[in-house]
């Protein structure tokens, strides 16, 4: 159906009324909803796999690995750990509060949440975030991307089959419907997408002072650094896998590779071999190779590749009918060229050579640009890698590894600066969708007049002495 402004408003108000019944506050009840969500994911897996294939050309294996299985893992962690996460904290109030010495911190839901999800991982970045919202005790409106229409339809059917709309509902539509949502007074907004749209989301949220979590790709993309001492074959193998995955349409994907010039030619050779081994010499006719989401995305990819036609050493071909564009290596590329100064979100991979002895200058240049969502280092120098990971600004990443940090339980997934704010996955998602409320439990006996007027006079001098004793 086509969502109107009035329909969106009604959906939000119905959820607000439902939230005020306090039914979502009970932790046992939340766990039951999470179990329902997991059962729904399992039940609807065949339909989700078909939708992912239609929208993104994903195979059954890639669809499960990148979307379905990840969501089930996320829900499992929430089910098993929620009681511990939600347990109120007890604190000693301190002698300055005597005799009211007990303070509790309750983890309270925000209320009605809005989840705005993208096309590239339409299930993971909708239902995975929903698991965090449910864990926190919120209701949820999910606004999905109009580009992944088949996945949206499956999610609408699945959620309607699992939950009443006053608790959770999936809304489809374009930018106009998204604005209908943003014009409503939500209690929490979680947006995944581009930095440019995130600015608009924050502007709209600011009108109601609504807290926002943003998971973005980064304005100038994510870097992989390959030092001269790296295991080039291993690095090439992992980078090839990642660039092939979802045809490069991944927010934490490698946007460009900086390779020590001493080993650049050898690395490029290994990278070409790795891509061909994994996806074949004719990837655009390989049924396992995903497609770009839309004609506009395909045209942007093909146009950018054409600008660097003379430096393409692999790929550079595509099929506008199937929207598949081959993994494309551009080499060599200077660090100040346009192709490495914006997020590509496609299978183009520029390779930037640098002198290994000038690694500090390279990292300084990267640091001067907008912060990426990910950073990947390939080197045997553990000391340098550790120092770099502790001094650069980025969301997350890996040393001699790519992307798998997002699958580690108990750790946050997040960005910084133009790659986002807030964090989620596991307990971090629970925290993102709750706010701490501090409550001091007062005593009606043994109350001292320490805090009360008057303060002056000889018989009240003890008050200042006690205050200094307790507070210093």
DSSP annotation of 410 reads: T
What is the SS3 assignment for 193?
Answer: strand
215 among known catalytic residues: yes
Q: Give pairs for 193-201: CB < 8 Å, separation 24+.
A: 193/116, 193/118, 193/217, 194/343, 195/219, 195/370, 195/418, 195/419, 198/420, 201/116
CA 383 to chain centre: 29
Please name the residues in contact with 18: beta carbons below 8 A apart, sequence gap of 6 or more: 24, 139, 164, 166, 167
Q: How far apart are alpha carbons 432 and 138 in whole angstroms?
A: 11
Structural contact between residues 262 and 356, judged by C-beta atoms closer than 8 angstroms: yes
Structural contact between residues 311 and 276, judged by C-beta atoms closer than 8 angstroms: no
Neighbour-count burial of 54, counting CB atoms closer than 10 A to its CB (0-12 exposed, 13-18 middle, 19+ buried): middle
What is the SS3 assignment for 225?
Answer: strand
Q: How far apart are alpha carbons 150 and 94 in whole angstroms?
A: 57
What is the SS3 assignment for 62?
Answer: helix
Question: Of 66, 151, 251, 346, which is the active-site residue?
Answer: 251
Structural contact between residues 119 and 414, judged by C-beta atoms closer than 8 angstroms: no
Give catalytic residue positions. 215, 251
């Amino acid at each position: 159906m086509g969502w109107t402004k009035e329909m969106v408003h009604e959906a939000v108000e119905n959820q607000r009324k439902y939230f005020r019944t306090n039914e979502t506050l009970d932790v046992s009840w939340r766990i039951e909803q999470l179990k329902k969500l997991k059962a729904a994911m399992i039940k609807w897996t065949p339909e989700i796999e078909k939708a992912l294939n239609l929208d993104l050309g994903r195979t059954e294996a890639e669809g499960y690995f990148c979307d379905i299985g990840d969501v089930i893992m996320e829900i499992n962690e929430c089910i098993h750990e929620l009681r511990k996460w939600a347990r109120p904290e007890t604190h000693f109030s301190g002698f300055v509060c005597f005799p009211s010495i007990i303070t509790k911190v309750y983890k309270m839901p925000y209320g009605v949440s809005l989840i705005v999800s993208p096309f590239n991982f339409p299930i993971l970045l909708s239902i995975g975030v929903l698991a965090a919202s449910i864990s926190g005790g919120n209701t949820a409106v999910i606004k999905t991307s109009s580009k992944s229409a088949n996945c949206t339809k499956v999610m609408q059917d699945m959620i309607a089959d699992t939950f009443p709309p006053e608790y959770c509902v999936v809304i489809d539509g374009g930018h106009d419907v998204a604005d209908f949502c943003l014009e409503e007074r939500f209690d929490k907004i979680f947006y995944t997408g581009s930095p440019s749209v995130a600015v608009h989301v924050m502007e709209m949220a600011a009108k109601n002072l609504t807290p926002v979590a943003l998971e973005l790709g980064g304005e100038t993309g994510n870097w992989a650094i390959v030092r001269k001492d790296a295991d080039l074959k291993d690095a090439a193998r992992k980078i090839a896998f990642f660039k092939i995955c979802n045809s490069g349409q991944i927010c934490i994907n490698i946007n460009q590779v900086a390779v020590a010039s001493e080993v650049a030619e050898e690395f490029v050779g290994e990278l070409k071999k790795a891509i061909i081994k994994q996806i074949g010499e004719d990837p655009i006719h390989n049924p396992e190779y995903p497609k770009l989401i839309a004609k506009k995305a395909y045209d942007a990819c093909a146009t950018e590749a054409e600008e660097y036609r003379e430096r393409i050493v692999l790929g550079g071909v595509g099929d506008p009918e199937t929207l598949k564009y081959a993994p494309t290596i551009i080499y060599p590329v200077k660090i100040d060229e346009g192709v490495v100064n914006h997020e590509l979100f496609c299978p183009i991979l520029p390779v930037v050579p640098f002198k290994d002895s000038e690694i500090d200058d390279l990292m300084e240049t990267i640091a001067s640009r907008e912060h990426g969502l990910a950073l990947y280092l390939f080197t045997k120098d553990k000391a340098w890698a550790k120092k770099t990971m502790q001094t650069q600004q980025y969301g997350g990443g890996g040393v001699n590894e790519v992307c798998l940090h997002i699958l580690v339980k108990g750790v946050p997934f997040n960005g910084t600066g133009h790659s986002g704010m807030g964090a989620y996955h596991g307990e971090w998602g629970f925290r993102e969708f709750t706010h701490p409320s501090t409550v001091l439990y007062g005593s009606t006996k043994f109350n001292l007049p320490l805090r009360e007027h008057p303060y002056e006079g000889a018989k009240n001098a003890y008050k200042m002495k006690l205050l200094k004793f307790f507070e210093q």
